[in-house]
Structure 1
């Protein structure tokens, strides 16, 4: 097997909720690349004598953090776009000076967004 794990082990982990699989029309399971990373993580945790329940909780926490980071990135993109549009409309001399100095509009917008969030 590509992962070094038996089909039985992968099925067991899937049934426990440690792995997620897509199903084909003929009911075969398909796993994406993230499952290989999870299998490596599970193996590492097992070597540290963690129980499968501890590993499951750890994976859920890790997934929740990744979702939070993605949501934050989406919010930052939205703020960046809004600021960029507002600054373009305003025609702010400071923005034009920064652009001439080589700071991208996106970087400036991100800085502005971060300053707004910190205030």
Structure 2
């Protein structure tokens, strides 16, 4: 803008009207005077995310005796006791299957145990 025009606008007070005329043009043209808010991704732990993203055709199912979700700490005494009881039950079932002649099913239970 040349200096003479600038001086005339400032002296006459018409510069305010020029600003009011430019504001809608900038708003409609997509020029952002205020930056849009930044979207932040939500960080989900693997224990929560796994059931939603698991592929049932490719994933190996978790053993129901193991805690769900997996814990990253030693088992509590109550959890150890429950696990021992469940493993003893598996061993008993495997013994019954082996005695009845179903060695393949018994072997699967022993391997699982």
Q: RCO higher in 1 or 2 (8 Å CA, sep ≥ 6)? A: 1
**Superposed pair shares fold, TM > 0.5:** no
| Pair member with larger Rg | 2
* TM-score (ref. length: structure 1): 0.26
